[in-house]
């Protein structure tokens, strides 16, 4: 396309509307000064909609986007399908880009046959944020490595709806990337799984039931009001505004929670590792990353944008403009090693880095599974299956159906997907 007022290239970028991405959009003039021939056009969408729209566009070869924000769920599968440009040659040809600086688990999760097909904007695991001031006031202590049972007890103690404080915020919003992310990380540590090795669905197994009952009871009894409509963004706002004592979710929360401009609780949080039950670690592994669709007609310009948004210089730009609290976390080792970042991030840098290092997508739980992924299943069907199961769980959180009913229905959905894998074996 031709940009207004010039003969430049219009570059259409599909992006998720999370706070760090909003910062990138606000810094676009830095990019456009460097590349005056490129006119950035952002299509920003909430997480669930972004996933659906980007997937449809890429799968049908729609070609309306020159760059897309995806994750470690899509990257490998889409690379295998030939839907994405191999970025490795461009990475290798870009001086100072230093892909070796990306944290290894993140880099690996975005690679297909050793080449990167998307580059990480931020990396995350999950951990538990908690209000140290409220804990002190109540005479409570967060264990160094909390179990889910301990977290539920603490939530019960701290739950104070009268004063507008929930014990804990946990996602209840439908979406395979919404309620299922924390739920699946809990499932793994409770010894549950979606399928056994033979692709028999396990959603009515004792472990899966125990997890679902625990999750639903916890959020219904000591969670935020209206939890069934509450996703990452809502919990992030509630925690930052001082309306919940604990928040179990993505380590990327810190860019908002610790930013004095957008948070009433900056400097008042402790961070504990993801809670566990039967396993040593409970965190997930996720990265919002940028890729170039194979159909893009502006691949060179798209790479200029991708490399701008994911290189070390960008980190410095954000730090100068907005402070070190706001830099995209969890993607580059050099950020963790920066003394200014360490200073600002002393409460959370280590638990974040350890969470990312300890997540094991190849072996996510206690028993063998035929899929990879911690908080998702890396199979194409999971977009639809996960969405359906998440709707059942969310309905149980809303009190519309029982956990039993939710799982009976979910088991049927999961088994029909499992059967298709049995036939292809």
Q: Which residue has the higher pLDDT, 7 or 407?
A: 407
CA distance 371 to 202: 13
pLDDT at 388 over 90: yes
Query: pLDDT tens, 189-224?
Result: 999 999 999 999 999 999 999 999 999 999 999 999
Q: Closest Cα to residue 20, out of 288, 265, 349?
A: 288
H or E element, residue 286: strand 286-291
| 4 pLDDT tier (thresholds 50, 70, 90) | very low
Q: Which residues pair with 71 in a beta bridge?
A: 288
Q: Which long-range contacts (CB under 8 A, 24 or more apart) does 109-116 make?
A: 109/72, 109/75, 109/76, 109/285, 109/287, 109/361, 110/72, 110/75, 110/76, 110/287, 110/289, 111/75, 111/76, 112/75, 112/76, 112/79, 112/80, 114/88, 115/86, 115/87, 115/88, 116/87, 116/88, 116/91
CA distance 188 to 278: 9
* Angle at the Cα of 252 from the Cα atoms of 246 and 256, rounded to 5 degrees: 70
Token representation of residue 387: 């969405």
If you average pLDDT over every residue of the chain, what do you get? 96
H or E element, residue 303: helix 299-310
CA distance 323 to 259: 8
Query: pLDDT tens, 107-142?
Result: 999 999 999 999 999 999 999 999 999 999 999 999
Q: Closest Cα to residue 212, out of 246, 183, 241, 181?
A: 183
H or E element, residue 288: strand 286-291
pLDDT at 263 over 80: yes
Q: What is the pLDDT of residue 7?
A: 65
| 8 pLDDT tier (thresholds 50, 70, 90) | confident
Contact 66, 11 (CB under 8 A): yes
Distances (CA, A) of 325 to 103, 335, 348: 19, 11, 11
CA distance 411 to 59: 27
Distances (CA, A) of 45 to 13, 28, 83, 195, 335: 11, 17, 21, 32, 28
pTM for this predicted structure = 0.94
User: What phi and psi, each to the nearest 5 degrees, are found at residue 117?
Assistant: -110, -10
Bridge-based pairing state of the strands 67-71 and 9-16: parallel
Contact 393, 171 (CB under 8 A): no
Token representation of residue 380: 């194409």
Contact 51, 383 (CB under 8 A): yes
CA distance 331 to 121: 7
pLDDT at 5 over 50: no
Rounded mean pLDDT of 63-74? 97
Rounded mean pLDDT of 289-296? 98
Q: What is the pLDDT of residue 423?
A: 76
Token representation of residue 87: 């970025």
| 3 pLDDT tier (thresholds 50, 70, 90) | very low
| 425 pLDDT tier (thresholds 50, 70, 90) | low
pLDDT at 6 over 80: no
* Angle at the Cα of 332 from the Cα atoms of 70 and 122, rounded to 5 degrees: 30
Token representation of residue 267: 């400097």
Q: Which residue has the higher pLDDT, 332 or 7?
A: 332
């Amino acid at each position: 396309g031709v940009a207004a007022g010039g003969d430049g290239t219009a570059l259409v970028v599909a992006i998720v509307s999370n706070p760090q991405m909003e910062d990138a959009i606000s810094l676009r003039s830095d990019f456009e000064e460097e590349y005056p021939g490129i006119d950035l056009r952002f299509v920003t969408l909430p997480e669930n909609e972004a996933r659906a729209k980007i997937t449809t566009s890429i799968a049908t070869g729609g070609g309306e986007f020159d760059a897309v924000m995806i994750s470690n769920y899509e990257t490998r599968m889409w690379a295998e399908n030939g839907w994405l440009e191999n970025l490795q040659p461009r990475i290798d040809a870009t001086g100072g880009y230093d892909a070796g600086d990306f944290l290894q688990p993140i880099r690996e999760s975005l690679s297909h046959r050793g080449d990167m097909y998307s580059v990480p904007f931020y990396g995350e695991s999950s951990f538990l944020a908690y209000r140290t001031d409220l804990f002190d006031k109540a005479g409570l202590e967060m264990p160094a490595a909390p179990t889910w049972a301990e977290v539920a007890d603490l939530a019960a103690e701290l739950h104070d709806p009268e004063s507008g404080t929930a014990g804990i915020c946990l996602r209840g919003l439908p979406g395979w990337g919404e309620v299922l992310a924390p739920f699946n990380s809990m499932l793994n540590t409770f010894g549950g799984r979606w399928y056994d090795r033979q692709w028999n669905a396990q959603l009515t197994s004792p472990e899966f039931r125990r997890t679902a009952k625990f999750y639903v009871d916890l959020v219904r009894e000591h969670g935020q009001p209206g939890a069934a409509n509450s996703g990452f963004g809502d919990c992030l706002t509630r925690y930052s505004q001082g309306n919940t004592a604990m928040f179990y979710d993505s380590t990327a929360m810190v860019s908002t929670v610790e930013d004095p401009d957008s948070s009433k609780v900056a400097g008042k949080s402790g961070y504990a590792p993801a809670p566990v039950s039967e396993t040593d670690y409970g965190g997930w592994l996720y990265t919002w990353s940028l890729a170039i669709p194979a159909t893009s007609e502006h691949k060179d310009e798209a790479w200029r944008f991708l490399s701008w948004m994911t290189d070390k210089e960008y980190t410095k730009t954000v730090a100068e403009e907005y402070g070190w609290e706001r830099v995209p976390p969890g993607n580059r080792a050099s950020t963790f090693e920066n003394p200014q970042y360490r200073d600002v991030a002393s409460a959370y840098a280590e638990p974040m880095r350890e969470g990312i290092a300890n997540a094991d997508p190849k072996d996510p739980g206690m028993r063998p599974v035929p899929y990879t992924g911690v908080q998702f299943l890396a199979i194409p069907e999971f977009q639809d299956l996960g969405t359906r199961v998440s709707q059942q769980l969310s309905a149980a959180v809303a009190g519309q159906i029982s956990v039993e009913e939710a799982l009976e229905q979910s088991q049927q959905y999961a088994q029909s997907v499992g059967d298709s894998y049995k036939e292809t074996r």
